[in-house]
């Protein structure tokens, strides 16, 4: 097993400037094996995932159908390569666009 890693996410309504609560998110290995799942809290956040994960490629699968019907699902794939670092992978969502970045 790898060292301690934490993964968090934050879903923001980019059109209205506020968090999206209640978005279901699945943390998966690249092959689709689910590692964890949760829903965003009132602040649009999920924190504390990933302790004990091995280095590798993971993805966050967001069920965005109710928030942005044009994008019923958003998948963000990222390379977790350093167990000493925290990985924050936010999603900025609007009706017809989305973006992401490596947060802190």
Q: What are phi and psi of 37, to 5 degrees?
A: -150, 155
Measuring CA to CA, how many Å separate 27 from each of 7, 36, 62? 9, 5, 9
Q: What is the pLDDT of residue 49?
A: 85
User: Which residue shows structure tokens 């690249």?
Assistant: 30
Q: What is the pLDDT of residue 5?
A: 57
Per-residue pLDDT of the chain (104 residues; tens, 9 = 90+): 344 558 999 999 999 999 999 999 999 999 999 999 999 999 999 998 877 788 899 999 999 999 999 999 999 999 988 877 889 999 999 999 999 999 98
Q: What is the pLDDT of residue 4?
A: 52
How many helices (H) and strands (E) are present in the chain, helices listed first? 0, 10
Q: What is the pLDDT of residue 3?
A: 45
Q: Is 6-100 in CATH node 3.40.50.720? A: no
- C-alpha–C-alpha distance, residues 36 and 51, integer Å: 11
């Amino acid at each position: 097993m790898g060292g301690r890693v934490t993964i968090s996410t934050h879903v923001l309504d980019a059109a209205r400037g506020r968090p999206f609560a209640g978005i279901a998110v699945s943390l998966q290995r690249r092959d689709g094996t689910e590692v964890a799942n949760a829903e965003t809290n009132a602040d649009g956040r999920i924190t504390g995932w990933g302790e004990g994960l091995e280095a590798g490629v993971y993805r966050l699968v967001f069920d965005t159908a109710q928030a942005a019907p044009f994008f019923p699902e958003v998948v963000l794939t990222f390379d977790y390569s350093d167990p000493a670092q925290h990985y924050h992978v936010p999603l900025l969502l609007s009706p017809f666009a989305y973006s992401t970045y490596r947060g802190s």
